[in-house]
Amino acid sequence: MEKINQNSSTAAIRYDAKRDFFWLFLRPWLWIPRLVEILVSISALAIVLTIQGSSKNEDIQKRIAKQILLTITNLGPCFIKIGQALSTRPDLVRKDWLEELTKLQDNLPPFPHEQALEILEKELGAPADQLFREFPKIPIAAASLGQVYKAKLHGDYWVAVKIQRPDLEFSIRRDLSIIRVLCRIIGPILPLNLGVGLDEIVDEYGKNLFEEIDYELEAQNANRFRALFSNNPAVTIPKVEQLLSTKKVITTSWVNGIKLQNKDELGGKDIDLDALIRSGVISGLQQLLEFGFFHADPHPGNMFALSGQTQGLGHIAYVDFGMMDSISNQDRLTLTSAIVNIVNENFCDLASNFQKLGFLSNEYDTNKIVPVLRKVLSGALDNSVGSFNFKKITDQFSELMYKYPFRVPARFALIIRAVVSQEGLALRLDPDFKIIKIAYPYVAKKLISGESKELLEILLNVIFTKDGILRVERVENLLDILIESAQDSDSELLPIAKTGLNLIMSNDGYILRKNLLLSMIKDEKLNTNEIKQLLRIIRKKFSPKKIAKGILKRLNPYKPNI
């Protein structure tokens, strides 16, 4: 069987759909048997699901779950990656199926240890017993692209050594070409309106999958990610051992933690699940809205719970940095604005956000979509931000895709995957989790910090109408969100007040000061009603008694409430 560059550790093959199609098409002895294998496996599973999928018998459902796992595992890395994505969605996949699918994350059959040692020696230039003080005979985990060994370098310094599966480039290249052709054939007959063809989605998936099997690129990603979180004690990123890392082998410091898979195990270790979820979501928001560089595959096998807390945030660790992506500054700011507009039910600006992000064409008249957004999103928050029903909203948006020209830009494929995986992971730990309950307070803090002119502009759009009138109720809502989201609302009052005051008195704050003054002038007359309302709210939220109480708590957090 022909295998192109399968053993080369030099220049890695990059994804090229056209090139790979012709490469495979001219080799029918490669694709015909594989196509038959794929179609037979999927058809057999489809028949079982059609006949028994709705059965209420637990034993039958367990057998189906095992067959799903076995089918996906036998089909190889490309299909396993899809199964991994499904394993993070408890709202989409039955619980008994989900338990089996989680095994796809790092509990797959390992490849022979002898092959692993051969690859390691060829890549690093020396056998394992010369490079490591201790190297086990059995991997501690096996995933879709490689398997991991827990080895010792010196003293008590343990490392994770990930060795790539043999012939991986060849099998991925072959399967992606077959999957792409199948998607081009069945895509037009499926009731989908994604704005892009299924083959384009495969292209995006293939590009990222080929990047994921380049361990040198993964090492670069890990180093960059580690630098971004260097000042965050709640997030741990392992250190890459550069001298023991190549395109097919990557060695990092070992992470002692608990995988975010088993809620009962985490509870038994006295891990605060709320603090852990909050840390995971906030770190994810930081990546998307602050750093512009994010982990696109945050499934439970790639995240660990560590002991301890820092300022109400649980300690977590990320591993496996093969699937990473970046987001532009403009997209980051537009996403921030969209979150604010959803919460404030500002549907005109939300429609503009969709256009800027590419979900609606620039030629489309947004006035036509505003009533639709109002119908779908109005009242979604009920009486509080925490009640936002994300699943209900996404389901309704899926229906809108059929009726209105919503499109999913290719650059958002991994962003959506990351957010969906993050939410699914949190739902596994807390079925009542609401992502917006954590996302909006984070965004609110960013807005009042005035870190950039762009964020200040978003804040002005939130608290002032287009006519320059101060929206007092939105200021109050913003303060309520910040105070309610704090672990200790009293002790957070002073920092919130200080941040707001710093913003007003800053050089960029002149725009805010100017708008406040202009809001007092209406029809060439002085009108202080809104300012008076604002001052009443500030006195209520930041009364001297509450501020004093917060200061005492900060000075002595163990002192009883006064």
| Sequential DSSP letters for 156-196 | TEEEEEEEEPTTHHHHHHHHHHHHHHHHHHHGGGSS---SS
Residue pair 485/384 in contact (Cβ under 8 Å)? The answer is no
Which residues are paired to 160 by β-bridges? 150, 252
Structure tokens at 46: 């489809």
CA–CA separation, 446 and 537 (whole Å)? 21
Structure tokens at 109: 């059959």
Longest dimension (CA), the chain: 86
Q: 383-410: buried (b, 16+ CB within 10 Å) or exposed (e) per residue? A: eebbebebeeeeeebeebbeeeebbbee
Neighbour count for residue 69 (Cβ, 10 Å):
22
* Annotated catalytic residue within 20, 106, 297, 331: 297
| CA-angle at 388, arms to 486 and 345, nearest 5° | 100
User: Is 283 strand, coil or helix?
Assistant: helix
Alpha helix ranges (H) inside 87-167: 95-101, 113-124, 128-131
Residue pair 208/296 in contact (Cβ under 8 Å)? The answer is yes
Q: How far is CA 485 from CA 479, 493, 550, in A?
A: 10, 12, 15
297 noted as active-site residue: yes
Helix (H) or strand (E) holding 46: helix 28-52
Neighbour count for residue 77 (Cβ, 10 Å):
20
One-letter identity of residue 239: K
CA 178 to chain centre: 28
> At which residue do the structure tokens 């910040």 appear?
482
User: Active-site residues: which are they?
Assistant: 297
